[in-house]
Structure formats: C-alpha cells, structure tokens
Amino acid sequence: MRFSILFAMASALLAQAPGSAPKAGAAPSGNAQNGKKLFVRDGCYQCHGLQGQGGAAGPRIGPRPIAFAAFTMYVRQPSGQMPPYTSKVVSDQELADIHAFLASLPQPPPVKSIPALNQ
C-alpha cells in the first residue's frame, strides 16, 4: 500500500532532524565502493540507472537516498512495481553498502548556476 511507504519515509525524515547526524546504531556503516558493485550485481541499475538517476522503469534514488530504515523497508517490501529483495538475496550489510554508494554520489549543480535555466 502506497500509504505505508509514505508513512515510513515521513517517520524516517522526522527521526532525522535537519542538521543532525543519523542516530548511532541506526544503520550499519556502509562501504560505498562495494555498494557500487552490488548496485550492478543486484540489478538495481537496470531500473534506477547506473547513478541511481532513474530511468524508464524506476525513479531517481540518489544522490540523496531516503533514510536507511525506510530504504531497507522499501527494498524488502515494495508496494508498487519494484520486485522485493529478501535478506537471502541482499543482506542488511549489502543494503547499507548500496545506501552508502547512493549517498556518496555527487550532488547536482544548483539550478542558479545553469544560465539556460535562469533566463
């Protein structure tokens, strides 16, 4: 159900007040380099694009991925078109690595810095 993921995302956002570091122990620390490999091995890139930028089959999920708790919840029990990934297929540590990879992606330049978008 769409509401459940929205609720999970909202509570994850509330749990992470702006400017504050994520709560210690909330997520295993991820290895972005390994996450990059897993993103390809597990086929995430096929729908979300190699940089998580989104594509025809899936939305943008980087460079600012949703909070780890909501991220894991969605991958385990998606509510829409996405196939579920159980912990047998992708472990929690591997998801932490993928999350770290998405979080490590460079931010897009600010719209103000793009002349064509400021005419």
Distance, CA of 30 to chain centre? 12
Contact residue for ligand HEC among 83, 109, 110, 115 (CB under 6 A)? 83
d(CA 63, CA 106): 6
47 sits near ligand HEC (criterion: CB under 6 A): yes
Q: What is the size of the binding site for ligand HEC (CB under 6 A)? A: 23
Q: Which stretch binds ligand HEC (CB under 6 A): 13-21, 24-32, 71-79, 110-118?
A: 71-79
Contact residue for ligand HEC among 71, 96, 97, 101 (CB under 6 A)? 71
Output phi, psi for 104, to 5 deg: -85, -10
Contact residue for ligand HEC among 58, 62, 68, 69 (CB under 6 A)? 58
Q: Which stretch binds ligand HEC (CB under 6 A): 19-27, 28-36, 58-66, 109-117?
A: 58-66
Burial track 32-57 (b if 16+ CB lie within 10 A, e otherwise): eebbbebbeebebbebbbebbbeeee
